[in-house]
């Protein structure tokens, strides 16, 4: 069964993300304490899936380039500064998507500076830096973008600009996040990077850089709303 699964280019790109998304859905329905443990579990599960499948996804690589690092930093700056930038332009802050759960702040659940608080903060940064980027980039940039162009998506070059898939994929990516407008702009940046470099690894690096810096910002500034 596993051999049939890994022989399907679509399944190996979609199923890991779908499992991760299902665990995220479950996470928000397990109470204030349970959600943190589910996040830990889904991070371990996501990492295990990546290790099991990376040989079967040719474009799955974590490539460091200065261009990817710079894009990641710029997206981080945009993400945390978008509301202020809109205000300076005289526009109101855009409405964020509502969430059924409270912001991710283990200080309020386990106590400020407690071992469990430190553990879950570190786990959140590790998960969002090392696990989330490859899972999302594989799904959106490797599969969705190309599948919207052709059912034979492997025949579509990663670096080919396709206006409708570019817009649709970025919008879908954006609305996965509470800060949907920042998410759409972020999707434009990562998709543009893939097209520029004609490879997925740069987008994974940029995405990981953004998430890592955002995690540090959340902890430093107490900006838990971003989590």
Say if CB 190 and CB 137 are below 8 A apart: yes
At residue 98, the pLDDT reads: 83
Q: How many of the other CB atoms lie within 10 Å of CB of 220? A: 8
- Extract long-range pairs of 2-7: CB within 8 Å, 24+ residues apart: 6/53, 6/56
Contacts of 208 (CB under 8 A, 6+ apart): 62, 72, 129, 130, 133
This model's pTM is above 0.85:
yes
Q: What is the pLDDT of residues 126-151, one digit of tens each?
A: 999 999 999 999 999 999 999 999 99
Q: Provide the residue ranges of all domains of the chain, joining segments of one domain with +.
A: 61-226
Say how many residues make up the chain: 227
Residues of the chain with pLDDT under 50: none
Q: Which helix (H) or strand (E) holds 185?
A: helix 180-197
Could you give the dihedral angle defined by the CA atoms of residues 151, 154, 157 and 162, in that order, rounded to the nearest 10 degrees? Answer: 20
Q: Which of 177, 172, 209 is CA-nearest to residue 191?
A: 172
């Amino acid at each position: 069964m596993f051999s049939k699964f890994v022989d399907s280019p679509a399944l190996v790109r979609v199923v890991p993300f779908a499992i991760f998304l299902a665990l995220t859905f479950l996470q928000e329905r397990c109470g204030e304490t349970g959600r943190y443990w589910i996040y830990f579990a889904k991070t371990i599960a996501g990492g295990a899936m990546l290790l099991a499948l990376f040989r079967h996804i040719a474009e799955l690589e974590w490539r460091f380039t200065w261009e990817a690092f710079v894009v990641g930093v710029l997206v981080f700056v945009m993400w945390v500064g978008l509301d202020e930038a809109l205000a300076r332009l005289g526009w109101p802050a855009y409405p964020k998507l509502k969430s059924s759960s409270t912001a991710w702040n283990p200080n309020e659940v386990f106590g400020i500076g407690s071992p469990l608080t430190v553990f879950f903060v570190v786990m959140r940064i590790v998960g969002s830096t090392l696990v989330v980027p490859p899972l999302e980039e594989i799904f959106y940039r490797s599969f969705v973008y190309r599948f919207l162009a052709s059912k034979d998506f492997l025949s579509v070059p990663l670096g080919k600009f396709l206006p409708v898939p570019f817009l649709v994929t970025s919008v879908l990516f954006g609305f996965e996040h509470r800060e949907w407008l920042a998410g759409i702009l972020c999707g434009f940046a990562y998709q543009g990077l893939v097209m520029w470099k004609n490879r997925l690894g740069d987008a994974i690096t940029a995405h990981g850089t953004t998430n890592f810096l955002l995690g540090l910002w959340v902890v430093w500034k107490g900006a838990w709303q971003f989590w």
